Structure 1
């Protein structure tokens, strides 16, 4: 069966959740310790994390979970066309110009101005296309991958690909699949024997949430969503030497808004709020993420406990019994608690080659809605679900 096209897995005009994988070229350790030369490129993981944080502040895409590894990254993303529809034309314009200014920054060091925003707002056809792109996961990944490749190539004084190709993705069709996939993503460093617990797994969403609970704060990488006055921009270009403008831009890039935030504040909240209607956009107003909607009907304390318990089940076939409360949570989602460890640790066995993730009944329903007979892997996943 041929691999389904991305257009068959998610639609920018429809809210959907997608597990995304992006690999380095030849699966080389271009963001870790190079096995051949011994050079440590681990600092590039923070490049990737900060770029994700920046994009989360402008795109109508929620980052639910992520893990940056030495030669690939995992993300669980949820596009939000409903949030994008709630933004004003001016908000859409400045968000787009922050990521795609449409000019070479080395030649024009001024930031987007009020005049730039007004000109873009005047082109209604162009603005409608931009609004669609801001809720498109493909454009989010494009804006993430391309700058990282340029930065790495400039540092290595070389040309060519940094990433293997376009990202691969899986549609997540129910909460059971989302919980299992999120746990799999958060535990990637533990599965790769790079850490012994999620508490010691930097560059993962699980680590960010744990550190935030302990009060950890970081300088925000969110874009400044205020255009500068046109006259002020012209004055800066005329009166300030280019070297000073460049230094000023580099300094601002480290913390564009000058704010400090909780380490997980740019991520989507984990628990759903049952008192809020499902179709309510819950637009985020502080400028660090697109919305305040959670994604699991599980409290953070229970998720953290299950995450730590699952991380300890390192020996295949020797998993201890799932604690009663956690077992009840899994069973409420239709997951066989006795198979939970196997589902997360042997994810590739069940969902490694599938285009959709979820319980068998949900996969069957989604296949029928998509005009398919079934999804690949639908039968093998049945063993893990009640």
Structure 2
């Protein structure tokens, strides 16, 4: 968070049985679990100050690209923090009395403020967000499977996205996951992905899809909060990348979308990022110039960087 507000997160199942879809061995249908995850993501996005830039819910794992909005959390009043927290959590009796104006001592008021401050810090804490998302899904799946134990492989994995190039690549990588593994043929038919949700919202003349962080273009207005690209540029970029997947070759294309030029990316570097983002065990994604900034900010001599600049 000290380096970038953008992260790519992945959670995978530990059991052989599917997270979603149909298990080919048992023919058990787990397709309904996709809705569990989608609805929980939507619920938590209303509670936390963590924006959803992209998502893809696959058969045994899911991807998220998120924006941590710390400034938004810090700007909330104490009442706003409590109202957010109560949407998905039971409030303790002390806080209920505080809301009703029934506190009778300074000590009680200070205790309430301390509790609210802890909730405020959680509202922009990615680990808390992912913990609550995974815990809820694991409980539902274990009840349905009539078993106990770990449902997820490990604590979620994350990659810091250090610049706009890395953000665009991670979002496209996530949105094209179904196409990359052969369960969809086009972005618009990639079910339970953010690209499908955004395209459906466009078809219904909506500004953005529910629970998704909006695109604002290259705006200089600091009051605007959103992804620093134009939506149509991103859609064109995803479509172009999808065609390269189907052709199974990274050939140059004269119809390169403007966003590639604007982010100073070559097509080969772009395709490498969109197909190999998880292969290199990198903890950060970005350009070489970002690496020096990250090392200094984190006071680390070594960072595993997936380079976007070749």
Same fold, judged at TM 0.5 (above): yes
Q: Which runs of 5+ in 1 are unaligned?
A: 1-9, 104-112, 217-260, 283-292
Q: Does residue 345 of the first structure (1) align with residue 275 of the second (2)?
A: yes
Q: 1:262 to 1:158 in 2, by over 3 A?
A: farther
The number of aligned residues is: 301
Q: Does residue 356 of the first structure (1) align with residue 284 of the second (2)?
A: yes
Q: Residue 385 of structure 1 corresponds to which residue in structure 2?
A: 309
1:30 shift after superposition: 2.3
Q: Residue 368 of structure 1 corresponds to which residue in structure 2?
A: 296
Q: Residue 219 of structure 2 corresponds to which residue in structure 1?
A: 274
Of 133, 136, 144, 2:122 maps to 133
SS where residue 62 of structure 1 aligns? strand
Q: Does residue 299 of the first structure (1) align with residue 230 of the second (2)?
A: yes
Residues 38-85 of structure 1 deviation map (CA, whole Å, 9 limit, x = unaligned): 111011011101110011111111111111111111101111121112
Of 265, 268, 281, 2:210 maps to 265
1:320 shift after superposition: 3.9
SS where residue 93 of structure 1 aligns? helix
1:16-165 aligned at under 5 Å gives the runs 16-26=5-15, 28-101=17-90, 115=97, 117-118=99-100, 122=109, 123-165=112-154
Residues 15, 80 of structure 1: 8 Å contact kept: no
Q: 1:333 to 1:157 in 2, by over 3 A?
A: same
Of 245, 252, 258, 1:321 maps to 252
Q: Provide the C-alpha distance between the structure 1 equivalents of 2:81 and 2:289, rounded to a whole number of angstroms.
A: 39
Residues 27, 72 of structure 1: 8 Å contact kept: no
**Superposition TM-score, scaled by structure 2 size:** 0.87
RMSD between aligned residues: 2.6
**Superposition TM-score, scaled by structure 1 size:** 0.71
Residues 162, 290 of structure 2: 8 Å contact kept: yes
Residues 173, 274 of structure 2: 8 Å contact kept: yes
1:324 shift after superposition: 4.2
Q: 1:262 to 1:162 in 2, by over 3 A?
A: farther
